[in-house]
Amino acid sequence: LIAARLDAIDPADRGLIQDASVLGQTFTLAGLAAVTWSEEADLEPRLRGLVRRELLDLEADPRSPERGQYKFVQSLIREVAYGTLARRERRARHLAVARYYETLGEEELAGALATHYLAAHQASAEGAEADAVAIQARLALGGAAARAASLGAHDQAVAYLVQALEVTADPAERGGLLERAAISASDAADHEAAQAFARRSVEEYQRT
């Protein structure tokens, strides 16, 4: 039913919904403009039309930290829209979001930045295309882990480091990531996991 609703709207606006789906359940006008390479003034009337169609909503609650942002009325609408994007389209849009976040230079976006680079890598074709994005994803995930650890969110730091392992082949780099994961797991009082990460770290270093 949702796919049918999306098919019924103007193709350009359907494309806008797809672009917005890459940003997440909630998104800013500035973020959407960056992904679509459009002017904010050109997007506003189109977004208002999608609000009238009850596909999107505008957060107007003055108490909400997301006030002024747009959001999908239902998470399933976003999932269906995202699912209709081809892999190459996903890659291009995730990279656009990541590069937009980098221009903002806001530390609190470290996790979101890493997530978009990882998603871009997952949508890349094997070979040089994926390898290039893997480097960016690894750096972003490492940065997100460091920020999470600095805030005391050690479980989250471990999760980012485990994701970084997925895009890391070099034994020395893997050893370093596992060593950091062992430290964060220990700080999270998960001593069993810390020992497992430490053993794997030694094994990777021995491969160098």
For 42-69, how does the pLDDT look when each residue is reduced to its tens digit (9 = 90+)? Answer: 999 999 999 999 999 998 777 766 778 8
179 backbone dihedrals φ, ψ, rounded to 5°? -65, -45
The whole-model pTM stands at 0.86
Alpha-carbon distances of 91 from 14, 127, 174, 202, 207, rounded to whole Å: 18, 14, 25, 34, 33
Rounded to 10 degrees, the C-alpha dihedral 72/87/29/139 comes to: 110
pLDDT of residue 64: 67
Tens of pLDDT along 120-156? 999 998 888 899 899 999 999 999 999 999 999 999 9
31, pLDDT greater than 80: yes
Q: What per-residue confidence (pLDDT) applies to 7? A: 83
Question: Do 164 and 138 touch, CB atoms closer than 8 A?
Answer: yes
